[in-house]
Amino acid sequence: MAVVDRSADQVPKPRPYPERDSAPWWERVNQHRFELQRCDRCEAWRWPPRAMCGRCASFEFTWVPLSGRATVESWVVNHHAFLPGFASPYTVVLGRLNEQDDLCLPATWQSDADPTPGQSIQIAFEAHTDDDGPFTLLAWRPT
């Protein structure tokens, strides 16, 4: 999976503020590892990270690597900069993960071309730096 160095950006994107359930997820993202919780009982993938499986209510899970491949389910082009570091217009894509049909993950879009429905995409890591040091965000890009 690609890593794009965005540390030279004049205005960095906002740093994530992990909470109890998402801290292990962001730790993996910062290590450029694309892993999700997978239920130990029913094998459903979970996103966003949480304590209990939404399918079988199990509290048991394992962090498992994914391919990072998905298809474009939907997208939005923002013409208003809601947060610093997001120059308008910018696109956010909802990617339907190849590993599980009912699991979609939003991320910014890394391409000059517009996304198309059902397009094959791949997750990429964006390495950022702010006053508190380095951090990583995710983005979708065409395969």
Instruction: Give residues in contact with Zn ion (CB under 5 A).
Output: 39, 41-42, 44, 53, 55-56, 58
- Closer Cβ to Zn ion, 24 or 142, answer by number: 24
Shortest distance, position 47 Cβ to Zn ion, whole Å: 13
What is the C-alpha to C-alpha distance for residues 59 and 41, in angstroms, rounded to an integer? 9
- Closer Cβ to Zn ion, 57 or 83, answer by number: 57
- Closer Cβ to Zn ion, 101 or 112, answer by number: 101
Q: How many CB atoms lie within 10 A of CB 126?
A: 21
Q: What is the DSSP string of 37-87?
A: EEETTT--EESS--SS-TTT----EEEEE---EEEEEEEEEE-S--STT-P
- Closer Cβ to Zn ion, 9 or 21, answer by number: 21
Shortest distance, position 116 Cβ to Zn ion, whole Å: 33
Of the candidates 13, 15, 35, the residue with the CA atom closest to the CA atom of residue 108? 13
Shortest distance, position 45 Cβ to Zn ion, whole Å: 10
Shortest distance, position 25 Cβ to Zn ion, whole Å: 17
Shortest distance, position 60 Cβ to Zn ion, whole Å: 8
Contact 32, 3 (CB under 8 A): yes
Contact 105, 45 (CB under 8 A): no
Of the candidates 58, 47, 51, the residue with the CA atom closest to the CA atom of residue 21? 51
- Closer Cβ to Zn ion, 2 or 56, answer by number: 56
